Structure 1
Amino acid sequence: MTFRDFRVPPFEVWNSPYNCAGLQPNTLCFSTKVRPSMSPFDFRTYQALTDLYRVHRFLGPDSVFPITQGNNALLEELTQFLREPSPSSGTQCSQTLRDALWMAAVSPEVHYNAFLTATSALIKNALANREYAQDLSWLWEDYSGHYRTSAPPVRAALMNGFERLRHHCLLPDDCRPSEEDLLTRDRTEAEEMLTPIARSMTPAEIECVAAADFGMDIEEHKSALFDLLNSPALAYPPNELRFPAEVIELVSHVQRHTGWLPSTAILLLDAVRTLDERSNAEFSFKRQWRGYSRLPAPARSAFHAAFRYLYEKNAFDPQFPNYHCFDRGNNVSLGWGG
């Protein structure tokens, strides 16, 4: 089966045209079964879907109108389809809309932004409806170079979308984005956003943070905090797991604690440098994601940029057993951090 023609066959493929080794089997299976979408909750796929949704918002209305070519009914359907994803359900599009999306997705020379939005919509449709996913491998083969020239948030959204398709065995293994393809920001940029917040810890906050371990070893923690804040790299001493890391972690888990904001920035600086080897960032996000989303813009952007760096480095996959409580007004996803 090939999808080289932008027209899409009237049936849909159930499961994957590729196995997890990236090989194409000789037969395809078909089903009319309705899939209970994204159950249990898959944070990484949900984040990818949310970022794909953001592509058209980033690019603006001019990236949407050329796809529908004046067809108001099609524009309404596309607008509904491009809504922010629900964590618990998928949204499918009609054959007519798929045809229009494919036409735009193979025509970067006609309207580049519409090409990017159409690609994001096709990936979104495949991820949200995985049992009926279309084969998008040839889009990767023919147009991955075009995706790499787009703005970093758009490029990362598309590349992480393709990566999730590969993860779900919906693309062959050789359709693999590079590590650089997947990053909205590199580590240095994330560090630069966190550092001013970390260095903002006041003497009064140092006193409170140093006493966070039930008042034990205050002087040792205080001295280590001063040394940390005055160091050029703002990094924990090598092989030192207690001073001041222990009190930094304790304070970062309690948002109302004095010194919480700079302590969290220090914790996230360590996490992006070590790819969260101690799972501190993942643990904190599971407990405090609502609080992070309500911070003033500079701190929210910096923290989300750090979490996003870990997510895009495949070092961040928080588990949410009560995923059913999420809705569009209760959004667990990470912002673009800008």
Structure 2
Amino acid sequence: MEWIHRQVLHDLRCVALACGDARQRIVGLSNPKDRPKIEETLLSVLDDKHLNCPIGDMGDSVRKVLQIGAWQQSDDPEMATFSIAILLADVWNTSVGFGSPDQDWSDLSPFIMNLPPARRAVLLRAYFELYQMGICKADSFPNPNQYPTENADEIMSPLCCLARKMTEDELNFVSQADYGCDVRKHLTALYEVLDQPDCRFPKDECLYPNEVVELISHDPSSMGFVGCTALLIINDIHSSGHHDYMSFRWMNNSKAYCGLSDSQREPILRGIRHLYETDKDGWDPTELQFGKKRDKQVMSIPYYDSGSAA
């Protein structure tokens, strides 16, 4: 399974789990004699990292209940969101899910587009990928990179604060990262970048301080690692992903990012999710040149719903 597919399924599961006790209310829509089995099956679906719904009579019973739940948009938005997330995953896994994804998009889009931004971003991305695969057809389709969880300003402000927390010792260490070459020039450029309101790298400059920042950000054990990572995310956002500093680093350093302290981890992960959500060409840390893929399992980007990561 490609990384983007695993990421979409991861996010759909997170949305379903974030919908509180919607599962119990879904079970309540079923025939009383079927409820214990429906409950058991739904729990097993939620326990599966890809939300696999079984094929067979019980799987079909669960799908029918979810299809009812998906239309409870006015009466129970949480139930509708829960149901849509699992049904979309089912389309990915089995090509079953909704009876007609084409019709369902036209009917469900007003509800999805008015969800809280984090949930909207996930469901829209899932539908968009199905649209790209030819499973869901539509005359026009909103591009999910125009509907991220957060806007760039919300993301970059805490990242700039993180970068500016680098100490004098850290900045001196970073400036020496290029085998001790041009230390003063790198250090001066670092201070100039940090003095900018938006921590933007100099225009048309690819060496000072970019080179040492990139080198330090490869090594989680290095002094200045967090601040340099923040600078790269900021400048990836400034360039609309043109430089793509972070996809390769996510492949190699995702565990290190997730292991940071709370105050460091959240701005970094929110920034990486923003890059994933807004990349117009499809952000993929396994992508190589000429359509080739890296043969490596890469962690999914954590999902934030109401301030908590999953």
Aligned to 2:295: 321
User: Unpaired segments of 5 or more residues in structure 2?
Assistant: 287-293
SS of residue matched to 1:109: coil
Map Cα deviations across residues 206-245 of structure 1 (whole Å, 9 max, x no partner).
Answer: 1100000000000100110111111222101110111000
Residue 158 of structure 1: CA displacement? Answer: 0.9
What's the TM-score, normalizing by structure 1? 0.80
Question: Does structure 1 conserve the Cα–Cα contact (< 8 Å) formed by 2:101 and 2:136?
Answer: yes
| 1:52 has 2:12 as partner | yes
Match of 2:44 in 1: 80
Shift of 1:305: 1.2
Corresponding letter in the other structure for 1:322: K
> How many corresponding residue pairs?
288
Gaps (5+ residues) in structure 1? 1-37, 327-331
Cα deviation, residue 156, structure 1 = 1.2
TM-aligned CA deviation for residue 134 of structure 1: 4.9
Deviations 1:2-44 (A, max 9, x none): xxxxxxxxxxxxxxxxxxxxxxxxxxxxxxxxxxxx2xxx111
Distance in 1, Cα, partners of 2:162 & 2:242? 22
Query: For 1:92-107, what aligned pairs fall within 5 Å after superposition?
Result: 92=54, 94-107=59-72
Secondary structure of the structure 2 residue equivalent to 1:67: helix
TM-score (norm 2): 0.87
- 237-246 or 67-76: bigger deviation: 67-76
Q: Which has the higher contact order (CA 8 A, sep 6+)?
A: 1
Deviation at 1:135, TM superposition (A): 3.0
Measured after TM superposition, the shift of residue 152 of structure 1 is 1.5
Aligned sequence identity (%): 24
Contact preservation (8 Å) 1:148, 1:181: no
User: 1:212 is matched by which residue type in structure 2?
Assistant: A
Find the partner of 2:248 among 278, 283, 301: 283
Matched residue SS, 1:255:
coil
The Cα of 1:108 is off from its aligned counterpart by 1.5
- Residue number in structure 2 paired with 1:251: 216
Deviation at residue 336 of structure 1 after TM alignment: 2.5
CA distance in 1, matches of 2:202, 2:196: 10
Contact kept, 8 Å, 1:127 with 1:164, in 2: the verdict is no
Tell me the CA shift for residue 130 of structure 1.
4.2
Contact 1:301 1:336 in 2 (8 A): no
Q: CA RMSD in A?
A: 2.1
Cα offset for 1:188? 1.4
Which residue in the other structure is 1:225 paired with?
190
1:53 partner letter: R
Q: Give the corresponding residue for 2:300.
A: 333
Q: CA–CA distance in 2 between the matches of 1:166 and 1:246?
A: 39
Partner deviation per Cα, 1:45-97 (whole Å, 9 max, x = no partner): 11111111111222211x211211161210111121123525xx954351101
1:307 matched to 2:279? The reply is no
The letter of the residue matching 1:67 is: I
